[in-house]
Amino acid sequence: MNMNRWARLFTWQHMNKDGKEEETKGQESNEKKKEATPKINWKEWVVDPSEEFYYTWLQIMILPICYNWVIIICRTCFYDIEEMYLATWLTLDYICDLFYVVDTVIGVRTGFLEQGILVRDLSRLKMRYLRSSRFKWDIASLLPTDLLYLQLGIHTPLVRVNRFLRTSRLNEALDRMETRTAYPNTFRVAKLMLYIFVLIHWNACIYFSLSNYLGFGMDEWVYPNISDPEFASTRRQYFYSFWFSTLILTTVGDTPPPTCEEEYLFLIADMLIAVLVFASVVGSMGDVISSLRDRDNVFFPNHELVKGYLRSRKISKELQKRVNDWYQHLHINKKITRENEILQHLPITLQTATAVSVHLPTLSKVTIFQNCENSLLEQLVLKLIPQVYSPGEYVCKKGDVGHEMYIIKEGKLAVVADDGVTQFAVLGDGNFFGEISILNIKGNKSGNRRTANIRSIGYSDLFSLSKEGLTETLLEFPAAKRLLEEKGRQILTKMGMLDEMDEGEGDVEKTEDKVKRLEASLETQQTKLARLIAELESSARKMMHRVVQLELQTEEWEGIVAEGAQEEMKEYEIVKEREIGDGKGEGEKEDEEEPMKEGERGEGDGGEESLEEKEKGVRGASDNEKEETEEGVKKETHQDKKRDGK
């Protein structure tokens, strides 16, 4: 008994411990959850227009706006609907008003982008909202016009017509939905049908109200007399009005002719609206069809152009059938071969992210690209080009020069013999081939040529990576280039296709070619330098000769000027002596002066002859110097030519 008691006591204590531990664990987990969920500070809460909450709220606002556009006019024109469900309408009215108030608060706290950054300053957000035109429309749509019920009566819902002023939010919501939906063309058609429905609904309500004004059953054009039980129900009244309005606006079916002026005016207005509706419907459908065609032209090659070319060139029917089957396969299975053209409008970062999400798993399966840098793979995925091959078509043949490698995305390809029948192996999804030919590894015995025939068994989807694309990418990743070349050598070694001796000789030959090229360039530079030095020396000599000639000419002119000045002084002294002389005989003076003049003339003649001789001597010296310089230049040019010849 004691043992049983002690056992029960121990079990009870153990159960209490386990319960306490579970409670503490539960409290800790709850505390962690509270810490993980961030607390929202409602005083500083700001709505980001790009977040999901804003988009969801716009979708919610569609309901109250459409309610006001549809119900207010319906209650105004159909009195029975207004009287029978008055409590329901009033409740829905003020619920919609509550949504309008919340929408105004969200509008005040909606952030905006400034220099690409979301502004969260509430004071700036309030000032921006108060200064915008949206604030005026929002306030006008919330004016308490329901107070007019006190004067006009509770059954006058037309006082709430200012609620239509919130329509801008409806347009914003529909535009957002059109950009985010996966089927924009279908959405455009649905939006157009919504507008047409609202238009016909308003026209039906106005038609019923006009019939009430003119008198029910007055003629065949207005609504029949409501005293007739067949046309007395509210449902029949609305459906008949909607049907008659549809006949008028769509101009299908016969309508009774109008009999009074009001009916004529109503029909004229409806006919004009019908023209606009018809034009909008035709234009919208035309836009939808053209957008679908443009989308097909972007996604798929233009089949019509190719078919026209084949017919004009009189291509055989068998080849035309192969081309048509290929196009048909693309369209039926939605195969896209122009991914790069479709994504080129995106920024490079989004292009890379999209291509990585689509092609990176396929590229990472290639053996030589495993363990490479992620940045290298991200660059390579942009170079992948989708290709589709038809049944029996050869992807490559033995002996062809390899310009690209292939990765199998979907389908099966066979490695066949030269006869095209014998199959050595079958390649499936994820396999690849031709990777060695684009690496240009030295010592490759195949010489970068295909070593097998590969043919598509059925329709095969491949990715091709060109040698140019890989080379361009590897220029920025030299370490990855060395790694890929090393992996390629290992694969060739296992296949027995690598000639190491040829590779070493190729390296030696490459080094010798580099040395020869450097020596030739060095000799060319030395020749150019010698020419420049010779030209510099000759130009310096010419300059020195020119300076000497200028100095000699300057000295000659200085001597001539000095001699002319001395003669003028002598003549001046002679004239002065004649004037001062005493009254001696003029004859004697003349006899004395004449020999003096003759002597002066003789001296003058002799002086002129001496100057001419000097000038001749200077000119001779200058001519000799010119001849010497010309001979020196000729010798130098002759030496330069000899050097160039060497």
**DSSP class per residue in 167-211:** HHHHHHHHHHHHHH-S-HHHHHHHHHHHHHHHHHHHHHHHHHHHH
| Location of structure tokens 């809460």 | 45
Query: Is the confidence at residue 459, as pLDDT, over 80?
Result: yes
Find all residues with CB under 8 Å of 111, minimum gap 6, and list them: 46, 47, 48, 49, 118, 119, 120, 125
Q: How far apart are CA 344 and CA 163, in angstroms?
A: 45
pLDDT value of position 170: 93
Mean pLDDT for the stretch of residues 315-324: 86
pLDDT value of position 605: 45
Lowest mean pLDDT among 40-49, 70-79, 203-212: 40-49
pLDDT value of position 26: 58
Mean pLDDT for the stretch of residues 351-355: 83
Query: Is the confidence at residue 487, as pLDDT, over 90?
Result: no
Mean pLDDT for the stretch of residues 391-417: 88
Q: How confident is the model at residue 349 (pLDDT cuts 50, 70, 90)?
A: confident
Q: How far apart are CA 417 and CA 425, in angstroms?
A: 10
Lowest mean pLDDT among 138-152, 190-204, 479-493: 479-493
Query: Is the confidence at residue 622, as pLDDT, over 60?
Result: no
Query: Is the confidence at residue 503, as pLDDT, over 50?
Result: no
pLDDT value of position 61: 95
Mean pLDDT for the stretch of residues 443-471: 83
> pTM of the predicted model, to two decimals?
0.57
SS3 237: helix
**DSSP class per residue in 564-622:** HHHHHHHHHHHHHHHHH--S--HHHHHHHHHHHHHHHHHHHHHHHHHHHHHHHHHHHHH
Mean pLDDT for the stretch of residues 164-183: 90
More confident residue, 568 or 197: 197
pLDDT value of position 32: 52
Lowest mean pLDDT among 2-11, 24-33, 157-166, 597-606: 597-606
Mean pLDDT for the stretch of residues 496-511: 58
Where residue 336 falls (left for φ over 0; alpha for ψ -120 to 50; beta otherwise) is beta
pLDDT value of position 39: 65
pLDDT value of position 18: 55
Query: Is the confidence at residue 504, as pLDDT, over 80?
Result: no
pLDDT value of position 378: 82
Mean pLDDT for the stretch of residues 236-249: 92
